Amino acid sequence: MQVNRSAYYVYARGETHRESPSRINCVARIKEYFYIHHRRRYGRRRIAVELKIGRHRVRKVLQRENLRAIAPKKFKPQMTDSKHGQPVSPNLLQHGANTPESLGEVLVGDITYLPLRGGGFYYLACFSRGGSSAGRCRSDDGTTCY
């Protein structure tokens, strides 16, 4: 076994490795920023930039202390709940006196959310007169598309 002579004599005297006060202070600061300042939302890179210390040192401290940042959930717009236990509304146009007899008597609509690169969504509402093949769409900012 190859051990440094000085390390062997330190071990033989019963002295153990002690962490330096600056390293203990560093661990305390990392934990403070992790829990108190940023509520477990910052990871090793953002903490390292803010404290101006190496990200690898922050990584070691976070791993040693078993600390993991909370990742934000992806935004998902509220959609129709299709699995509800309520009865489904009947199609009033299919039977009875409401049956359309000519083109243009029925207005049909749809709402669509288009995801954007920045993380937001674009709201698009499309309306069409029943029976016509060309739909007319209107977005939330007032523009009309065909």
Predicted confidence at residue 100, as pLDDT, reads 76
- Residue 20 in tokens: 């330096």
Q: What is the residue extent of each domain of the chain?
A: 7-64, 105-145
Predicted confidence at residue 131, as pLDDT, reads 52
pTM listed for this prediction: 0.42
- CA–CA distance, 122 with 118 (Å, rounded to integer): 11
Predicted confidence at residue 71, as pLDDT, reads 82
- CA–CA distance, 91 with 99 (Å, rounded to integer): 10
- CA–CA distance, 56 with 63 (Å, rounded to integer): 10
CB 66 within 8 A of CB 40: no
Predicted confidence at residue 69, as pLDDT, reads 87
The three-class DSSP label of residue 30 is: helix
Predicted confidence at residue 133, as pLDDT, reads 41
What is the mean pLDDT, run by run of 10 residues, along the chain of 146 residues? 82 75 82 84 86 89 89 74 81 76 76 80 74 49 51
CA angle (64, 66, 71) in 5-degree steps: 130
- CA–CA distance, 32 with 76 (Å, rounded to integer): 32
Predicted confidence at residue 135, as pLDDT, reads 45
Predicted confidence at residue 26, as pLDDT, reads 85
